[in-house]
Structure 1
Amino acid sequence: MGDVIHTLPALSDATKAIPGISFDWVVEDSFQDIPRLHPSVDRVLPVSIRRWRNNLWASRAEIRASIKAIQQQHYDLVIDAQGLIKSAVLSRFAKGKRYGLAKSSCREPLAALAYQQAIEVKKGQHAITRVRQLFAKSLAYAEPTDPPDYGLGKERLPSSKKLIKPYLVFLHGTTWASKHWPIEYWQGLIKLAEKQGFTIYLPWGNEHEKQRAEDMAATSSAVQVLTRSSIKELASVLIHANGVVGVDSGLAHLTAACGIPAVTIYGSTSAALTGSMGARNISLQADFSCSPCLKKACEYKHPAEVVPACYQTLPAELVWQKLQDLML
């Protein structure tokens, strides 16, 4: 999801530089709601690579249908914004001159073999900056220097009348164990928010996350667990919230795109390279000797207040103060 959201500002840049430009977007089907939120996207072409690779033979008819949709028209330009082998393979099916990251710039260097025009983009920059530079060089306009514009607006995402305002959203779910902020810190944050009269909503994406949300909700009547929601439904909840706190996840990047006050917490991963980036967003990096370690599980062996140990430098009181500063 993060890669998809990181591409949105590049579309906004191109729209400003080339009035009337439009895009068709090939995207994993589970994330297809995101491109549909951008006004410059004409067609969304969903693919199901994650599912296909588990059973290519059974998926062959669906694969052929997706390739046919990609080949339906000729494009002025085909840009691979991901620089991965899977995205490069899909780009070869599209009709039009193919642009993508050069071998020295790709996350997966073999992907560069698929492009007719390879673009050099310096590594060590934030992912959003890299994609914006890729589009600027591919479409021949000046590299942008202004803050990223994701192209999302409240008018495209109506609010739900069922939600009790004012409200906050706490994004507690993520993939790696090392990216999870300790549940006792979440509980402390809930108490601080409750004292200020906020309702707190907790989304979830699987049964493990649902159980964690229910455990958190059991500590306070101010907390409500949301029903399982689509990405578009969650975007509507996020964009009308008074504030959001999250860990490193796709939903944290979606929150940044919505432009609302938000704090994202980073421990094992790097806020400098893939941190959430938005007008009213702050990424808090743990101030710890081994952070960011880029490891899926914490390997710190010394005594610590919490696990993962790096988060003891990001307690609930600090996170709450940062969120309050943004909400002023």
Structure 2
Amino acid sequence: MKILVVKLSSLGDVVHALPVVQDIRAAMPDAQIDWVVEKAFASLLSKCGGLQRVIPCEIRRWRKSPFSAATRSEWRAFRADLQREAYDAVIDLQGLTKSALVARLATLAPGGKRYALANQTEGSGYEAPTRWVADVAIRMEPRIHAVQRSRELAARALGYTFAPVPDFGLKRPKDRVEKAQPAIENIANYPSPDTVVFVHGTSRADKEWPLDHWVALGRQLDAAGCKVALAHGNAKELATSQAIAEALDAPDVMVWPMLSLDALTDELAQCGGVIGVDSGVSHIAVALDLPHVQIYNFDTAWRTGPGGFAGGGRQVSVYATPTPGVQAVWQAWLGCRGKV
């Protein structure tokens, strides 16, 4: 059976959908699973065991200049790549017009069907075309965690049941020699079990944690004998990493270089844990089953944060308004480490 998963963006949403691949593999070991995703996130899917083919697109960029020669050429190439295979099932896990368009363009095998969400769930985006394009639209409970929503949609589309605890399927590096990412060589001290990664970057300013909170938390970790590593994905986040490192002024503080998602995933996998805001990289920490505290300024952790389905108490969210205090996050971290 050939199955196409459509989940284009964003990073956190892609991470939340990863268990679908392992669920399908467990239920249908001979299935071929392909995935359409924004090119920016394709390298993460290279770490996901069980995918036959990752089909990158750049719809976000193409929409900015839809009639340019470059966009038309790239769109034709993407469509040809997408239509190389005929699928028995196309599953739109996103529920937006852009994902519905991709699902519609995909080629169905004889008897194949397109599946999609029939309704919006609380806190998620949803656009009606996904329902119009689908051969089968599946109604979900309106209040549901993002991971569970993807898993249930795929399971009901294909007619299987899944295990309670999700397997995100991210492959870990066996040793550093196997890795081919040159940027990693720029890290002065390789990650180790006593390295705690700060993930302070997020696409929304109202999800950020104050810089002085990061500094105070870093000092507590340094006093406890931990190394602090600072991850970032753009120039603004790099400036924040450098500001935190300068304020900490400790020998074991590491400002990482900007890494591709697959390289970043490898680095995180070798650390002792992660403390971060609600962001895609924090969700990767959950997927890697690392000790992790996820910081929320809004009461939305029930929908996107570490759930009761994973972590065994080693992954928790901390919520307060306007933002959690340093001691609340510190105590949560001590609790996570106590569960290792």
- Contact 1:252-1:276 at 8 Å conserved across structures: no
Q: Which residue, out of 186, 190, 194, partners 2:222?
A: 194
| Alpha-carbon distance in 1 for matches of 2:235, 2:197 | 19
Q: Matched residue pairs, number? A: 306
Q: Which residue of 321, 324, 328 corresponds with 2:337? A: 324
Q: Secondary structure at the match of 2:190?
A: coil
1:94-173 aligned within 5 A = 94-96=106-108, 97-103=113-119, 107-142=126-161, 144-155=162-173, 158=176, 162-163=189-190, 165=192, 166-173=194-201
Partner of 2:235: 207
User: Over aligned residue pairs, what C-alpha RMSD do you find?
Assistant: 2.0
Q: 1:155 deviation in Å?
A: 4.0
Structure 2 residue 261 is matched with structure 1 residue 236: no
CA distance in 2, matches of 1:156, 1:15: 22
Q: Secondary structure at the match of 1:321?
A: helix
Kept after mapping to 2: 8 A contact 1:244/1:261: yes
1:21 maps to which of 31, 38, 42: 31
Measure how far apart 1:310 and its partner are.
Answer: 3.1
- The two structures have a TM-score, normalised by structure 2, of 0.84
Q: Distance in 2 between matches of 1:258 and 1:323?
A: 14
Cα separation, 1, equivalents of 2:83 and 2:249? 53
Distance change (3 Å), C-alpha of 1:193 and 1:25: same
Distance 1:185 1:230 in 2: 27
Contact residue 103 and residue 111 of structure 1 kept, 8 A: no
Counterparts of 1:9 and 1:85, CA distance in 2:
23
**SS of residue matched to 1:77:** strand
Question: What is the CA deviation profile of residues 148-194 of structure 1, one whole-angstrom value per residue up to 9, with x for unaligned ones?
Answer: 10012324684768515331111011121211111111111111111
Question: Does 128-137 or 108-117 show the bigger shift?
Answer: 108-117
Counterpart residue number, 2:249: 220
User: Is 1:57 paired with 2:67?
Assistant: yes
Q: Name the counterpart of 1:286.
A: 319
SS at match of 1:153: coil
Give percent identity, aligned residues only: 33
SS of aligned partner of 2:34 = strand
Cα pair 1:169 1:238 within 8 Å, conserved: yes
**Unmatched 5+ residue regions in structure 2?**
1-10
Give TM-score, length-normalised by structure 1: 0.87
Find the residue that maps to 2:75 and give its secondary structure: helix
- Asked whether the 8 Å contact 1:271–1:283 carries over to 2, the reply is no
Unaligned runs of 5+ in 1: 289-308
Query: Which is richer in strand?
Result: 2
Which deviations, in whole Å up to 9, do the C-alpha atoms of 1:44-83 show, x marking residues without a partner? 1100011101111121110111011111110111111111
1:267–1:283 CA distance, 2 compared to 1 (3 A): farther
In structure 2, distance between residues paired with 1:86 and 1:314: 43
